[in-house]
Amino acid sequence: MNLTELNKIAVAMVAPGKGILAADESSGTIKKRFDAIKVESTEENRRDYREMLFRSREAMSKYISGVILYDETIWQNAKDGTPLVKLIEQAGSIPGIKVDEGTQALPQCPGELVTVGLDKLAERLKKYYERGARFAKWRAVIDIGSGIPTMTAISVNAHALARYAALCQAAQIVPIVEPEVLMDGDHDIDRCYDVTQRVLNKTFQELRVQRVELEGMVLKPNMAISGKKCAKQASVAEVAEKTVRMLKACVPAAVPGIAFLSGGQSDEEATAHLDAMNKIGGLPWKLTFSYGRALQAAPQKAWAGKSENVAAGQRAFAHRAHMNGLASKGAWESGLEKKAA
């Protein structure tokens, strides 16, 4: 393993003003997104949609440091035969790959899940590296509810995340470690804070046990945020303050950067929260975005599956990427949204 190389890639992934596009929706998830814009989810339509994003010169070259791909997408070629991976590289962005194989029910833990996909991961990583992937992603899902999460679910998922991360580094691939505490539910921000703190502490404990080099990884956590169904929604300032406090308590300074998931926040919320955290400043790691829906909802709507709307889709994508790029430097203002509209 060449740690200098891994660190160089990790640092590039969280470069100031840039963030990561999560374009790794599973077939089921992208079908839901396409249903919403009345587009049939065929392999060709999925390819055309993603090609539109990766050919968006402004967004990709200025504001996107890397792209997380789904297994189907990494092997696809653009309409003109160019591998989609090459389009990403040509824009100066880094191709990455989602390697987990989804979740299964966790035995003896009703309502809790464990992420699977470690079997044969070493062989898969070799193939992905040959295809051009330089980082990977694995998502653990922790739900908050009555009596959950259990320490069992937290431990099992942290262990799998660390095993995955160690295998990635052995394959010369930077792992994005994503322990997601879901924002579904009626819990308040303090409950989210407590659970996420336990999850992060356990995850870093496992990463150390399994000898993962922290300088060669990127963390992708949730923010400390109120549950969607909570009557009292925390303000932007409170989300920023509590998230930063939580991360300072749990995340070693050796980690080059933290790229947040949007986790069901609206486009503008996800941007405002990231911006407020960066305005606090004085942080040991870079804070940026690794958004899926919060970067793509607008371009999907603008494109709506029509080739004549490609330019409009690319403009919508460039705008959201630009806003989040500013937020990653603490330079965003809500007025900039109105201007573009």
* Contacts by residues 82-89 (CB-CB < 8 Å, ≥ 24 positions apart): 83/131, 83/132, 84/47, 84/50, 84/51, 84/54, 85/131, 85/132, 85/133, 86/132, 87/51, 87/54, 87/55, 88/54, 88/60, 89/132
Known catalytic residue: 220? Answer: yes
Length of the chain, please? Answer: 341
Annotated catalytic residue, options 98, 137, 202, 220: 220
Annotated catalytic residue, options 25, 178, 180, 206: 178
As given in the structure block, the two tokens for residue 170 are 């052995």
Give the residue among 77, 80, 92, 72 at the shortest CA–CA distance from 23.
Answer: 72
Q: What is the DSSP letter of 54?
A: H
Bridging pattern class, strands 94-98 and 64-69: parallel
Known catalytic residue: 120? Answer: no
**Cis peptide bond N-terminal to 256, omega within 30:** no
Give the residue among 18, 29, 13 at the shortest CA–CA distance from 216.
Answer: 13
Active site residues: 178, 220
